[in-house]
Amino acid sequence: MSKFELKLPRMGESVAEATLTSWLKEVGEKVEMDEAIFEIATDKVDSEVPSEVDGVLIEKRFEVDDIVKVGQVVAVIEIAGEADGLVEDTDNTEETSDEELASMAEEAIEKGRETLGSPVPDYTSTERFYSPLVKNIAKEEGVSLAELEAISGTGKEGRVTKNDILDYISGRSNGAQVAPQPKKTPEAPQPVQTKKEEVSAPPKIVEKEESQIKVGAGDEIIPMSRMGKLIAKHMSDSVSTSAHVQSFIEVDVTNIVNWRNKVKDAFEKQEGEKLTFTPIFMEAVAKALKKYPMMNISVDGDNVIKKKNINIGMAAALPDGNLIVPVIKNADQLNLVGMARVVNDLAERSRKNALKPDEVQDGTYTVTNVGTFGSVFGTPIINQPQVGIMALGAIRKIPSVIETKEGDFIGVRSKMFLSHSYDHRVVNGALGSMFAKAVADYLEAWDVDREI
């Protein structure tokens, strides 16, 4: 029998590591090729990692909540026959490699501390387990062992995870701390650090804030999911970063509705794709961004970065109630057929939790369809570091004044609202309104005789 090493695959140019969130197979279980073995999460997307071979899972190299770097061996599968990636016995090699990596990181931090003339915290005199990543972060931020011991871990068996230590450091820097729990070890007293530790302690204030909310007898406490917490933080950060301003414009999309009803069946038969309104709207937004490139920018300190590529994020609701924003890369270079294929593919894989990390990055502008849920308009929050987001309202049939050469009359038209949120730090009201008007003009000028 031979062994196959299942490594964390490359997930995109900007992704170097991921958190192992769950094991889908246990040691001793049979696995098939392309069957998911474990789940991982980055700060952008959750994903499953499938097996590359048929066999039996015989070893797990990481636990839930561990940080795994791209290329590291996560699991070992026993198989019969020959295949790429087979090894006879790599346990010692891998262990040595991991130890060397941790040792190199610790040595580099120690050298940096020596250069700065500050003491290096010693985390060896404790029975509690800390991953090398957590210890490295603690050393870099000057977190003492007493502080680290007092942090309440959310990982398996109370382990302190990367998010735990980062949350603690964030709370400490904001001044939200209480005194740390005393450490019960026979260490000699450290008078220099004692004073600091009385001030620098874990952010227990969060628990106190929660306790101020009265929970009734019939109330249910529902912990937020990992993605829910990331979204909450991302949204609150955006509101505190950008000066949000909104512009609204009503659009007559009667020609688009009639054209789509006329060609949608032929489109699906010819192209094998359903024709929704979304690719039509995305095409209009891409054209408007081409016309007004200063909406396709990001803010970096005192500089404005004008993006070369037009990459439109498409907000998509997930079955669990969360939200994800896959990105249509180079949207201005796609025709309507290509746009429909990309939109349908991203939407389908979003629902199946099958997006790659690179597919939710590098967006330069975002569109969200609030009309799907019946909303007429909204005030969406900007997806940082972008400077604009457009909400598409529900299409409704309403009585409207129609202007003709023969005079005005009342008729039934299909109309919708476009809600444009933009960053008033760098986008003034004129540009924000002209951009929304450009999208509306493209939609209202739709050619009813346009061929597929």
pLDDT in tens, 271-321: 999 999 999 999 999 999 999 999 999 999 999 999 999 999 999 888 777
CA distances from 404 to 305, 341, 408, 443, 447 (A): 45, 38, 6, 19, 18
- Residues 52 and 30: their CA atoms lie apart, in Å, by 13
Q: How confident is the model at residue 107 (pLDDT cuts 50, 70, 90)?
A: low
Contact predicate 307/297, CB 8 Å: yes
Q: How confident is the model at residue 358 (pLDDT cuts 50, 70, 90)?
A: confident
More confident residue, 324 or 438: 438
Express as a percent the part of the chain with pLDDT over 90: 48
Most confidently modeled range among 48-52, 100-104, 108-112, 219-223: 219-223
Q: How confident is the model at residue 413 (pLDDT cuts 50, 70, 90)?
A: very high
More confident residue, 107 or 271: 271
Three-class DSSP labels, the chain:
CEEEEEECCCCCCCCCEEEEEEECCCCCCEECCCCEEEEEECCCCEEEEECCCCEEEEEECCCCCCEEECCCEEEEEEECCCCCCEECCCHHHHHHHHHHHHHHHHHHHHHHHHHHCCCCCCCCCCCCCCCHHHHHHHHHCCCCHHHHHHCCCCCHHHCCCHHHHHHHHHHHHCCCCCCCCCCCCCCCCCHHHHHHHHHCCCCCHHHHHHHCCCCCCCCCCCCCCHHHHHHHHHHHHHHHHCCEEEEEEEEECHHHHHHHHHHHHHHHHHHCCCCCCHHHHHHHHHHHHHHCHHHCEEEECCEEEECCCCCEEECEECCCCCEECCEECCHHHCCHHHHHHHHHHHHHHHHCCCCCHHHHCCCCEEEECHHHHCCCCCCCCCCCCCCEEEEECCCEEEEEEEEECCEEEEEEEEEEEEEEEEECCCCCHHHHHHHHHHHHHHHHCCCCCCCC
More confident residue, 351 or 412: 412
Mean pLDDT of 240-245: 96
| Pairs from 264-271 (Cβ < 8 Å, separation ≥ 24) | 266/452, 267/340, 267/452, 270/452, 271/337, 271/340, 271/341, 271/452
CATH number of 2-79: 2.40.50.100
In terms of Cα–Cα distance, which of 347, 325, 329 is closest to 273?
Answer: 347
Most confidently modeled range among 15-24, 55-64, 282-291: 282-291
Task: Indicate if the pLDDT at residue 93 is higher than 50.
Answer: no
Q: Which two tokens stand for residue 52?
A: 């590359």
Contact predicate 143/121, CB 8 Å: yes
Predicted pLDDT of residue 124: 62
- Residues 107 and 275: their CA atoms lie apart, in Å, by 58
Predicted pLDDT of residue 208: 43
* Range in 185-189, 317-321, 397-401, 430-434 with the lowest mean pLDDT: 185-189
- Residues 420 and 435: their CA atoms lie apart, in Å, by 9
* Range in 150-154, 157-161, 191-195, 345-349 with the lowest mean pLDDT: 191-195
Domain boundaries, the chain: 2-79, 129-171, 242-445
Task: Indicate if the pLDDT at residue 406 is higher than 80.
Answer: yes
- Residues 271 and 187: their CA atoms lie apart, in Å, by 73
| Neighbouring-strand partners of residue 298 | 305
CATH number of 242-445: 3.30.559.10
More confident residue, 186 or 375: 375
Specify the pTM.
0.63
More confident residue, 269 or 134: 269
Q: Which two tokens stand for residue 268?
A: 């699906």
